């Protein structure tokens, strides 16, 4: 027990006779010396305490804090600036402070992680870090991270402010069932190398041995104030199972949210703005869910889905309800020497790689700046992207709203109405409503001039009830010409409409697909005409069935 007598000293260390603290709930216990009316933190003199609170203490408190962490279940670090090298947190420990008023300041020459778990080899469990700040002091440390946990389970990192670090703001390399919630990471310096990418948050590891971060919850975090190239906001490197909600990457000069070999990953309701790329998946992700996210004014793509792994297909992607606005700003091109892909949504498989099973539904791509976001959504030219379902997507204002490259496997494509007004993919996109208009020609003569095709009525064509565009002209002949040719062209109000198609010797079926800029207005009359070469053979024998397809918008 402590003595209450004058000049009798403080009694047992850790006893405060004037206050009743719950058992096991205070790491920094208070010592009272009644002769001097003196209250000091356990392990620190009154003078040191005053300097720490004023931010002027130049010593190193690492040993004392680590001693407390080794013995106390809960270690409370009051307000002030605490010079440390590296704190080691054992299992079943809580380390906390007074929010932004408590700062762990990494002293020069530490070259370490400010806070890490004590037993990487054996593993730690149930560590709770919350409500304090970490300053890495990059002016004095060429390599320093904020929080660095490896082989940790059932732990939580919450409401921390980490800034001025070189490598990682908050990293969990290996572990299960961990939570990272409502933290703020700023001013990650990185090492300015494409082979040494750093990030505000890192989960899992590939280099130096694969480490898996599984069953992870990441929510309400933010990365800001990063200026060095090759620094990401959030990197999901290796693992299975992560729910990532309500996070923000703002002004990060590489990728806002990036996934490598991470499966069963859910990005829901996150925001990436003014980064190089908003959201990016690099490798053979399986079970990727990207719902309700926003990419705004990033330099390159808003959402970029890559697949470089040729040995293992990426499978089961659900991309729904996202918004990509005014990306392709090209703000970081000087840092990297190239502008990169500047699309709202880019699906790019590598040569020989496969992406199988993509639901692309209800997404929005808007370019309000006149073409900075060059494409709304685009399927690339390499590899194979199969079993795609797309519908309810909207793209407006791009140079090309929708591009379907050779990688898109049309034979397994399923879709329902989308809206896009420009692009090359009129054969693969469904408009809000499509109408096939049937025409025919019996016994095409040789040397026929411009002649209206039959429509079963008065051969005047059909009046359009609303505006739209010409999707294509499709012709099937009863026989192929053996010589010569014939031409079929759609018409609008009696004038040629689109480029038309010419059927030559040996061809039975032919089709013309027009760009979506070949438009018509409500009230226009759409018809069809044909003509033939003088040398057409067989003459007066070939019958034509013609479909002119229009799409209403």
Q: Where are the domains of the chain?
A: 433-552
What is the C-alpha separation between 18 and 549, in angstroms, rounded? 88
* pLDDT attached to residue 265: 97
Strands 400-404 and 314-320, sheet pairing: unpaired
* pLDDT attached to residue 411: 84
Percent of the chain past pLDDT 90, that is, above it, reads: 67
* Superfamily for the 433-552 domain: Satellite virus coat domain (2.60.120.220)
Banded model confidence at residue 113, pLDDT cuts 50, 70, 90: very high
**The dihedral sign for the CA sequence 410, 411, 414, 417:** positive
**Residue 207 · residue 175 · CB < 8 Å:** no
* pLDDT attached to residue 371: 65
Mean pLDDT across 260-274? 96
Range list of β-strands (E), 78-151: 80-84, 87-89, 93-97, 102-106, 113-117, 124-125, 127-130, 133-135, 145-149
pLDDT at 27 over 50: no
What is the C-alpha separation between 442 and 459, in angstroms, rounded? 13
* pLDDT attached to residue 431: 46
**Residue 405 · residue 430 · CB < 8 Å:** no
pLDDT at 142 over 70: yes
Give CA angle at 311 (307, 315), nearest 5°: 50
* pLDDT attached to residue 36: 43
Q: Which class for 393: exposed (0-12), middle (13-18), buried (19 or more C-beta within 10 A)?
A: buried
Spatial neighbors of 73 by CB under 8 A, at least 6 apart, are 24, 25, 27, 92, 93, 94
SS3 label, residue 200: strand
Spatial neighbors of 328 by CB under 8 A, at least 6 apart, are 298, 299, 300, 301, 339, 342, 343, 367, 372, 373, 374
Q: Of 354, 356, 402, 348, nearest to 380 (Cα)? A: 348
Q: Which two tokens stand for residue 523?
A: 């009230």
pLDDT tens, residue by residue, 319-357: 999 999 998 877 776 666 655 678 999 999 999 999 999
Among the residue ranges 176-185, 313-322, 493-502, the one predicted with the least confidence is: 493-502
Spatial neighbors of 485 by CB under 8 A, at least 6 apart, are 502, 503, 504, 505, 532, 533, 536
Q: Which two tokens stand for residue 465?
A: 């009830």
pLDDT tens, residue by residue, 236-259: 999 999 999 999 999 999 999 999
SS3 label, residue 202: strand
* pLDDT attached to residue 414: 84
Neighbours of 414 (CB within 10 A): 10
pLDDT tens, residue by residue, 57-104: 999 999 999 999 998 899 999 999 999 999 999 999 999 999 999 999
pLDDT tens, residue by residue, 439-449: 999 999 999 99
pLDDT at 318 over 80: yes
pLDDT tens, residue by residue, 147-182: 999 999 999 999 999 999 999 999 999 999 999 999
Longest dimension (CA), the chain: 126
What is the C-alpha separation between 66 and 70, in angstroms, rounded? 6
**Residue 377 · residue 395 · CB < 8 Å:** yes
Peptide bond into 170 cis (omega under 30): no
Q: What is the mean pLDDT of the chain?
A: 87
SS3 label, residue 44: coil
**Residue 382 · residue 411 · CB < 8 Å:** no
pLDDT at 373 over 60: yes
Q: Between the CA of residue 263 and those of 25, 167, 259, 282, what are the distances in Å? A: 39, 24, 9, 12
pLDDT at 508 over 50: yes
SS (H, E, C) 350-418: CCCCEEEEEEEECCEEECCCCCCCCEEEEECCCCEEEEEEEECCEEECCCEEEEECCCECHHHCEECCC
* pLDDT attached to residue 33: 44
What is the C-alpha separation between 452 and 396, in angstroms, rounded? 36
pTM of the model: 0.75
* pLDDT attached to residue 425: 52
pLDDT at 56 over 70: yes
pLDDT at 20 over 90: no
């Amino acid at each position: 027990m402590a003595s209450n007598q004058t000049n009798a000293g403080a009694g047992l260390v850790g006893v405060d006779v004037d206050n009743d603290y719950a058992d096991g709930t205070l790491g920094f216990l208070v010592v009272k010396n009644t002769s001097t009316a003196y209250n000091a933190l356990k392990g620190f003199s009154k003078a040191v305490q005053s300097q720490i609170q004023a931010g002027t203490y130049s010593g190193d408190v690492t040993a004392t804090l680590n001693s407390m962490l080794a013995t106390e279940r809960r270690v409370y670090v009051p307000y002030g600036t605490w010079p440390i090298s590296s704190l080691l947190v054992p299992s079943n420990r809580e380390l906390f402070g007074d929010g932004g008023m408590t700062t762990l300041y990494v002293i020069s020459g530490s070259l370490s992680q400010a806070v890490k778990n004590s037993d990487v080899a054996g593993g730690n469990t149930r560590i709770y870090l919350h409500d304090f700040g970490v300053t890495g002091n990059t002016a004095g440390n060429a390599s320093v991270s904020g929080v660095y946990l490896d082989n940790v389970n059932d732990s939580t990192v919450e409401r921390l402010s980490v800034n001025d670090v070189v490598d990682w703001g908050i990293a969990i390399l290996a572990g299960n069932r961990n939570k990272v919630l409502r933290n703020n990471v700023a001013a990650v310096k990185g090492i300015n190398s494409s082979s040494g990418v750093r990030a505000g948050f890192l989960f899992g590891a590939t280099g130096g041995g694969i480490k898996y971060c599984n069953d992870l919850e990441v929510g309400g975090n933010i990365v800001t104030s990063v200026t060095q190239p090759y620094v990401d906001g959030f990197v999901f490197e290796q693992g299975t199972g992560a729910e990532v909600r309500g996070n923000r990457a703002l002004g990060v000069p590489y990728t806002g949210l990036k996934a490598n070999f991470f499966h069963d990953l859910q990005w829901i309701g996150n925001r990436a703005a003014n980064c190089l790329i908003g959201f990016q998946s690099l490798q053979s992700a399986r079970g990727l869910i990207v719902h309700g996210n926003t990419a705004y004014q990033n330099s390159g793509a808003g959402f970029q889905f890559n697949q470089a792994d040729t040995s293992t297909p990426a499978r089961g992607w659900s991309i729904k309800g996202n918004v990509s606005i005014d990306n392709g700003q090209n703000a970081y091109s000087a840092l990297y020497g190239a502008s990169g892909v500047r699309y709202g949504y880019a699906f790019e498989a590598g040569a020989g790689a496969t992406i199988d099973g993509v639901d692309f539904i209800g997404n929005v791509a808007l370019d309000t700046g006149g073409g900075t976001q060059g494409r709304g959504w685009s399927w690339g030219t390499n590899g194979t992207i199969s079993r795609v379902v797309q519908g309810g997507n909207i793209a407006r204002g791009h140079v090309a709203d929708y591009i379907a490259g050779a990688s898109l496997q049309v034979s397994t494509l399923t879709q329902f109405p989308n809206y896009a007004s420009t692009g090359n993919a009129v054969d693969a996109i469904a408009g809000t409503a499509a109408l096939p208009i049937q025409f025919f020609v019996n016994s095409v003569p040789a040397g026929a001039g411009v002649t209206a095709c039959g429509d079963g009525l008065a051969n005047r064509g059909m009046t359009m009830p609303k505006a739209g565009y010409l999707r294509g002209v499709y012709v099937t002949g009863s026989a192929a010409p053996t010589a010569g040719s014939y031409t079929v062209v759609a018409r609008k109000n009696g004038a040629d409409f689109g480029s038309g198609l010419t059927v030559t010797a040996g061809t039975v079926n032919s089709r013309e697909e027009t760009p979506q800029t070949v438009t018509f207005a409500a009230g226009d009359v759409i018809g069809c005409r044909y003509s033939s070469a003088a040398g057409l053979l067989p003459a007066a024998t070939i019958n034509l069935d013609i479909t002119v397809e229009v799409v209403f918008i």
